[in-house]
Amino acid sequence: MKHPYPLALAALLSGLGLAASAADSQSTSPGQRYYEKTCAKCHEAGIGPVIKGRGFPPQTYMIIARNGMNAMPAFRVTDIDDATLEDLANYLSRTEAPKAAAPAKK
């Protein structure tokens, strides 16, 4: 090998990327991860209502999640355990409303 440094640098940088993604997942709560993985598929795609920034107490989110509402199905304990649901409800109760999209310029 003429120049081992680029290979060593690439290996170092890839390791730093893995460490950064691991740190991000550690700073994200289980409830937030569940929201991003499951809830956002409907609630950020215009299928379900926006649930971030609504100012509901955590208990409201928990009741709706366990019992369902309108087109939203009920989530059983086998879908989301009580601890994760409580964390999700606390996360949602603290979120701010999403910023409105700026109108497209012509």
Tens of pLDDT, residue by residue over 32-52, are 999 999 999 999 999 999 999
Confidence tier at 99 by pLDDT (50, 70, 90): confident
Evaluate if residue 8 carries a pLDDT over 70: no
Single out the residue of 55, 31, 67, 77 nearest to residue 40, CA to CA. Answer: 31
Q: Which of 1, 22, 69, 72 is catalytic?
A: 72
Q: For residue 59, what pLDDT is reported?
A: 98
* Mean pLDDT of the region 2-31: 58
User: What percentage of the chain exceeds 90 in pLDDT?
Assistant: 65
- Computed over every residue of the chain, the mean pLDDT equals 83
- Catalytic residue check, 23: no
Q: Which of 71, 100, 101, 104 is catalytic?
A: 71
- Catalytic residue check, 72: yes
Nearest-angstrom CA–CA distance, 100 and 8: 45
